[in-house]
Amino acid sequence: MEAPEAEPRVMPEAGMFAVADQITVAVHDLALVLKDEGKVAEAVRLVEGAQKRAGV
């Protein structure tokens, strides 16, 4: 959402003990970006689209 024209950043694989830290950082970054309801709705639409493309 910050740079839609850029390639998505890949979260590194650092083992199962680092997963919580990775999720915490990702959610913190997301919270900084989603400042209003319009941004939240846009994020939800993007996630729903990704789920459909992934067949989940």
Average pLDDT, the chain: 82
Q: How many CB atoms lie within 10 A of CB 43?
A: 14
pLDDT value at residue 11: 67
What is the pTM for the complete model shown? 0.46
Does 15 score more than 90 pLDDT? no
Q: Which two tokens stand for residue 31?
A: 């919270």
* pLDDT 10s digits, 18-31: 777 888 888 888 88
